[in-house]
Amino acid sequence: MEIFPAIDLKEGYAVRLSKGDMNSAKIYSKNPSDEAKKFEDFGAKWLHIVDLDGAFAGRSINYKVIEEIVKSTNLKIQVGGGIRDEKAIKFYENLGVDRFILGSTALNDPELTKQLAKIYKIAVGIDAKNGFVAAHGWAKQSKVLAFDLAAIYKDSEVDAIICTDINKDGMLGGMNFDFTKEIALKSGKKTIASGGVSSIDDIVKAKQIDEIYGVIVGKAYYEGKINLEKAFKLS
Which of these is catalytic: 51, 53, 127, 165? Answer: 127
pLDDT tier, 64 (very low <50, low <70, confident <90, very high otherwise): very high
Tally of structural domains, the chain: 1
pLDDT computed for residue 137 by the predictor: 65
- As a whole number of angstroms, the distance between CA 193 and CA 170 comes to 13
Long-range (24+ apart) CB contacts under 8 A made by 128-135 are 128/163, 128/164, 128/165, 128/166, 128/179, 129/165, 129/166, 129/167, 130/167, 133/107, 134/20, 134/166, 135/103, 135/104, 135/107, 135/108
pLDDT tier, 136 (very low <50, low <70, confident <90, very high otherwise): confident
Residue 210 annotated to the active site = no
What CATH number does the domain containing 128 carry?
Answer: 3.20.20.70
Residues 6+ apart with CB under 8 A from 41: none
pLDDT at 176 over 70: yes
Q: Which domain holds residue 47?
A: 2-234
pLDDT at 191 over 70: yes
pLDDT tier, 226 (very low <50, low <70, confident <90, very high otherwise): very high
Which of these is catalytic: 8, 53, 169, 202? Answer: 8
pTM of the model: 0.95
Residue 201 annotated to the active site = no
Residues 6+ apart with CB under 8 A from 92: 60, 63, 66, 79, 83, 100
| DSSP summary character for residue 184 | H
pLDDT computed for residue 143 by the predictor: 95
- What is the DSSP track for 5-36? EEEEEETTEEEEEETTEEEEEEEEES-HHHHH
pLDDT computed for residue 21 by the predictor: 85
